[in-house]
């Protein structure tokens, strides 16, 4: 293999790597948006369940311990539970004032 062939091989190799990297980035973004969508749906589902329980009992439930635990676990999984960022990932596990308000309120 002469030098030119060697460098051509390297060029091809690094180009492939760049393409693979871009593909991995795109997949990562897809997984992230799926996770966010999933979390938003979980939160929505929980709200509907709570509402359904209230309707079934015909008397409003003041607060549901189970519901609170569920919301907390979503927050600790690293997602927003506040209305502002509802279902989005909390970058680097940062604390969110709005989420804290929700946790205190529930
Ligand atoms: Zn938040």
In the chain, pLDDT over 70 holds for what percent of residues?
A: 92
User: Where residue 99 falls among pLDDT bands split at 50, 70, 90?
Assistant: very high
CA of 82 to the centre of ligand 1 (A): 4
CB atoms within 5 A of ion ligand 1 belong to: 80, 82, 85, 96, 98-99
pLDDT tens per residue across span 8-30: 999 999 999 999 999 999 999 99
Would you say residue 32 has pLDDT above 60?
Answer: yes
**Statement: residue 61 has pLDDT above 60:** no
Query: How confident is the model over 62-76, as pLDDT tens digits?
Result: 556 777 888 888 898
Task: List all residues 6 or more positions away from 14 whose beta carbon is below 8 Å from its beta carbon.
Answer: none
- The separation between the first and the last C-alpha atoms of the chain, rounded to the nearest angstrom, is 70
Residue 47 domain boundaries:
1-58
Tokens standing for residue 38: 């999933």
Distance CA 73, CA 45 (A): 15
Structure-token match 């607060």, residue found: 63
Mean pLDDT of all residues in 24-50:
92
Radius of gyration of the chain (CA): 23
Same-domain pairing of 21 and 70: no
If asked whether residues 17 and 29 sit together in one domain, one would say: yes
Residues 87 and 71 in one domain: yes
Distance 101 CA to ligand 1 centre (A): 9
Ligand 1 centroid distance, CA of 106 (Å): 14
Give residue 72 CA to ligand 1 midpoint distance, Å. 12
How high is the pLDDT of residue 98?
92
64 plus 91 within the same structural domain: yes
């Amino acid at each position: 293999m002469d030098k030119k062939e060697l460098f051509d091989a390297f060029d091809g190799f690094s180009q492939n790597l760049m393409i693979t990297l871009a593909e991995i980035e795109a997949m990562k973004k897809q997984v992230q948006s799926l996770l966010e969508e999933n979390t938003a749906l979980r939160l929505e589902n929980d709200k509907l369940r709570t509402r359904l329980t209230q309707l079934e009992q015909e008397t409003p439930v003041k607060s549901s311990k189970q519901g609170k635990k569920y919301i907390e676990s979503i927050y600790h999984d690293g997602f927003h539970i506040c209305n502002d960022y509802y279902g989005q990932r909390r970058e680097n596990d940062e604390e969110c004032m709005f989420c804290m308000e929700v946790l205190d309120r529930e």
